[in-house]
Amino acid sequence: MKNILCVLPVEQRHKDKLEKAAAGCPIIYSSPDKVTDEQIAAANVILGCVDAKRVKASENLELFQLNTAGTDPYIVPGVLHENTVLCNATGAYSKAVAEHALASLLMLQKKLHRYRDAQRENNWTDFGTVSSITDFTVLVVGLGDIGCHFARLVKALGAYVIGVKRRPSAKPDCVDELYTQEELEKLLPRADVVFNILPGTGGTHHLYTEEYFRLMKDSAIFINCGRGGAVASEVLYKAISEKMIASAAIDVTEVEPLPADSPLWQLDDLVITPHVSGYYHLPHTFECIVEIAAENLAHYFAGEEPRNVVDFTTGYKK
Amino acid sequence: MKNILCVLPVEQRHKDKLEKAAAGCPIIYSSPDKVTDEQIAAANVILGCVDAKRVKASENLELFQLNTAGTDPYIVPGVLHENTVLCNATGAYSKAVAEHALASLLMLQKKLHRYRDAQRENNWTDFGTVSSITDFTVLVVGLGDIGCHFARLVKALGAYVIGVKRRPSAKPDCVDELYTQEELEKLLPRADVVFNILPGTGGTHHLYTEEYFRLMKDSAIFINCGRGGAVASEVLYKAISEKMIASAAIDVTEVEPLPADSPLWQLDDLVITPHVSGYYHLPHTFECIVEIAAENLAHYFAGEEPRNVVDFTTGYKK
């Protein structure tokens, strides 16, 4: 009998689905806060994100199914035993994050952030010309599930889409052109929108330097739903306040929560959301996560390779 | 020789286009502010919106090409001579207004208006669950050029679309279901979004009564880019403050500009833009208007029926 531990906020219908996949093996339900160190140490399977520090390279842990797409804290050496199979929830967040990014992009294009500010001062003011997505070249930096979903959305609205991937591959239909990350610098001057959706790994830390922002059009819109560490706060502040680009929307910040005294908050042409594009804000996301967890539980009991297995050296899905 | 008067803010390339269409007949260029009463009285053709009060039913005026889609002030009896052919700029605004409406809709869906308010208070706060356009039934009230363009956009993003038209016709591809305006009451309870894009005519004044808002879902989003008169300010205030619906975005108000002391300004879940979705905010719009004006000028000199001729009794394109 295996020890299956689930810390996802499941309802009865989710339990039914997981238990069916567990083929008669009971599941212990808890939460990331209430789960005990003993339960973690005894678990052969954990479903849901348990604090990385509490896993202590447990030898018992065979399958660890995260409820996040990001894997940063779990691939640090010493956190997991080398035999643990780590799986992420890639795919579950595509719709939620891509739609949030699209909403942010259109908001900036139509200057709705400025109109909202004016509204709060009972002020009927015209902020001038706007732009259309049909005239835009959108650069998607990070062409995983979320990047592809976003690419499909903006393409459906009429944008021209350039995708950037870590590794060379055949061009998917969701983009008009495809390049590898090495070519990013050459692509920045062509973009009306730069959408960063790279995960948080060593290779993406402070990727967007001041020079990168200077390479962008001064009319460009920058959107970051990847990791806040991809841009240093000072660089972002400078890029917007010195008008290297027109505006930006960020759902992630270098330090989270963004400190109350950060000068970023009061930039007129920066829109900040508090890392809400993903998580469980769109109910659909959680349904997908339970779906992935049930599927991988079934694979585990059938002795099959699960889906979304994470490569410890890259932090990406293998 | 005909008197052609143009009050559109044209550049040289626009003039070239219009003069080519005028087949050698000179064009007098002015602006709505600077044009003289003598110029208006002498004109056989006017391109652009001259103040309705100054036209004085001029007998000379044969073709009056507006730069607006709305025709309200010009179809009032006594403004135009019965022989004047009035044309509007229907079609020129489709992209601009439909994209503005879409941006407003996604902003409300993802609660970006609330996050903007929190940002202005340096406040990292989570406003909870959001919705997806893929789960939404969108009701488009007024299926002219703008309504159809908007329908295509939301359909491309995955919405189910119901269109409402004044007169019965074959269902266009941009909607999943089509009804006439008489059936509006029955459709309101089904809608997650009600997008009003009806023009300002007697039949649409105060169309959205308190009863109509009560018929909508309490999770519904109302968007008005048609005419402000379609909803009384008090009714809209009540509908939102009493949570008959979840939120609304309006680009038009019953009185414009919206008075600084209007209680509408400070409603958290109402987004107000100052009648900017159309006009010339998207440069594309003006290019379309010049295109229509040139085309109709050519039709005029060729003795042909122009496009976008307005029916004086309805205010709509014939």
**A306 located within any domain:** no
- CA torsion B303→B305→B308→B309, rounded to 10°? 100
B21 and B87 belong to one structural domain:
yes
Which chain B residues are within 8 Å of A271, Cβ to Cβ? 112, 115-116, 119
**CATH number reported for the structural domain that contains residue A238 in this entry:** 3.40.50.720
Q: How far is Cα A169 from Cα A312, in angstroms, rounded to an integer? A: 21
Angle (CA) A135-A136-A137 rounded to 5° is 135
Which chain B residues are within 8 Å of A119, Cβ to Cβ? 265, 271-272
A·B CB contacts under 8 A: 146
pLDDT of residue A288: 97
**A313 located within any domain:** no
**B316 located within any domain:** no
- Residues ≥6 apart with Cβ < 8 Å to A183: A164
Ranking A184-198, A289-303, B279-293, B302-316 by mean pLDDT, the lowest is: B302-316
pLDDT digits (tens, 9 = 90+) for B196-206: 999 877 788 99
CA-nearest of B192, B104, B91 to B140 is B192
pLDDT digits (tens, 9 = 90+) for B101-137: 999 999 999 999 999 999 999 999 999 999 999 999 9
**B202 located within any domain:** yes
**B315 located within any domain:** no
- pLDDT by position in tens, chain A (length 318): 899 999 999 999 999 999 999 988 999 999 999 999 999 999 999 999 999 999 999 999 999 999 998 898 999 999 999 999 999 999 999 999 999 999 999 999 999 999 999 999 999 999 999 999 999 999 999 999 999 999 999 999 999 999 999 989 999 999 999 999 999 999 999 999 999 999 877 788 999 999 999 999 999 999 999 999 999 999 999 999 999 999 999 999 999 999 999 999 999 999 999 999 999 999 999 999 999 999 999 999 999 999 999 998 887 788
Distance between first and last Cα of chain A: 29
- CA torsion B28→B34→B36→B42, rounded to 10°? 30
The overall pTM is greater than 0.90 = yes
B61 and B111 belong to one structural domain:
no
A115·B274 Cβ contact <8 A: yes
B273·A115 Cβ contact <8 A: yes
pLDDT digits (tens, 9 = 90+) for B176-185: 999 999 999 9
Interface test with B, best of A109, A117, A119 (most B CBs within 10 A): A119
pLDDT of residue A199: 83
B253 and B119 belong to one structural domain:
yes
Contact call for residues A141 and A198 (beta carbons, < 8 A): yes
Quick one: tokens of B57? 């039913």
B108 and B68 belong to one structural domain:
no
B125 and B242 belong to one structural domain:
yes
- Is B96 part of the contact surface with chain A (CB cutoff 8 Å)? yes
**B11 located within any domain:** yes
Question: Residue B228 sits in which domain range?
Answer: 94-272
- Alpha-carbon distances, residue A155 vs A130, B64, B91, B147, B175 (angstroms): 19, 39, 22, 21, 20
**A317 located within any domain:** no
Contact call for residues A169 and A178 (beta carbons, < 8 A): yes
A200 and A139 belong to one structural domain:
yes
pLDDT of residue B175: 98
Number of domains in chain A: 2
B257 and B110 belong to one structural domain:
yes
pLDDT of residue B312: 85
B130·A281 Cβ contact <8 A: yes
Which chain B residues are within 8 Å of A256, Cβ to Cβ? 124
Bond from prior residue into A189 cis (ω within 30 degrees of 0): no
Q: How far is Cα A197 from Cα A141, in angstroms, rounded to an integer? A: 6
B66 and B158 belong to one structural domain:
no
Q: How far is Cα A314 from Cα A295, in angstroms, rounded to an integer? A: 24
Q: What is the largest CA-CA distance in chain A?
A: 68
Classify residue B119 as left (phi > 0), alpha (psi -120 to 50) or beta.
Answer: alpha
The DSSP result for A272-285, as a single string, is: E--S-SSTTSSHHH
- Is B301 part of the contact surface with chain A (CB cutoff 8 Å)? no
pLDDT of residue B92: 96
**B238 located within any domain:** yes
Which strands form B27-29's sheet, in the order they lie side by side? Answer: B27-29, B4-6, B45-47, B63-65, B85-87
B275 is catalytic: yes
Q: How far is Cα B30 from Cα B25, in angstroms, rounded to an integer? A: 16
Which residues of A, range 203-242, sit inside 8 Å of B by Cβ?
Answer: none
Percent of chain B with pLDDT over 90: 93
CA-nearest of B164, B171, B278 to B212 is B164
Give the nearest partner residue to B130 out of A260, A272, A282, using CB atoms.
Answer: A282
User: Per-residue confidence at B89, pLDDT binned at 50, 70, 90?
Assistant: very high
A193 and A292 belong to one structural domain:
no
pLDDT of residue B203: 81
A260·B122 Cβ contact <8 A: yes
- Cα distance from A171 to chain B (closest Cα, Å)? 22
B226 and B242 belong to one structural domain:
yes
Which chain B residues are within 8 Å of A125, Cβ to Cβ? 274
pLDDT of residue B164: 97
A199 and A229 belong to one structural domain:
yes
pLDDT of residue B78: 93
pLDDT of residue B313: 83
A58 and A120 belong to one structural domain:
no
pLDDT digits (tens, 9 = 90+) for B227-256: 999 999 999 999 999 999 999 999 999 999
Q: Provide the mean pLDDT of chain B.
A: 96
